[in-house]
Structure 1
Amino acid sequence: MSPTVFREKGYRFFFFSREEERPHIHVVSANGESKFWMEPAIEVAKNYFHSAKQVKEIEQLIREHQHDIISAWNRHFRSGSY
């Protein structure tokens, strides 16, 4: 299961269930896929084919939606709904 948290500017931001416990978000677009850690700071964990410009744009979107992402993470993973 991979619930979508939000979509914006051609990116889909989502989680993979039954993955690592450390909060993170996956991002996919027509150009590539990335994974960002949410804690202790927002940073790229993995990047496959997103350009440096796209990574900056994605990181900015994550910062803008940080509260929503963490709230969705807690609801999904801490509730045992995965």
Structure 2
Amino acid sequence: MPVIFKQDGFRFFFYSDEGDPREPPHVHARNADGEAKFWLRPNVRHARSRGLDFRALRKLAILIEARRDEIEDAWNGHFS
């Protein structure tokens, strides 16, 4: 489970085994309250979550959008 970065109490990561065939690029974010998954393209969008409220999900979406290039670089570097 490669961790891309940590910020605001969240760990942003993806799983090394992302399905067969592999799912499109996305990121998971987890803190003590729960976890969420966000697709990166064509726009950052919420895929699923548990334990996080709308406010936390909105904050995550904004943060992921701001760091999307970094997340995609980590994804491509890991899976290439």
Whether these two folds match at TM > 0.5 is yes
Partners of 2:76 and 2:23 in 1: how far apart?
11
Is 1:11 equivalent to 2:17 in the alignment?
no
The alignment's TM-score, normalised by the length of structure 2, stands at: 0.91
Q: Which residue of 2 aligns with 1:56?
A: 58
Q: Which residue of 2 aligns with 1:24?
A: 26
SS in 2 for 1:46: strand
SS in 2 for 1:60: helix
SS in 1 for 2:56: helix
Gaps of 5+ in 1: none
1:9-40 Cα shifts (integer Å, max 9, x gaps): 00000010121330000010011100000112
- 2:29 alignment partner AA: V
Gaps of 5+ in 2: none
SS in 2 for 1:40: coil
Deviation at 1:64, TM superposition (A): 1.3
Paired residue for 1:36, among 34, 38, 57?
Answer: 38
Identity within the alignment, %: 38
The alignment's TM-score, normalised by the length of structure 1, stands at: 0.89
Q: Which runs of 4+ in 1 moved over 4 A?
A: none
What is the RMSD of the two structures over their aligned residues, measured on CA atoms?
Answer: 0.8
How many matched pairs? 77
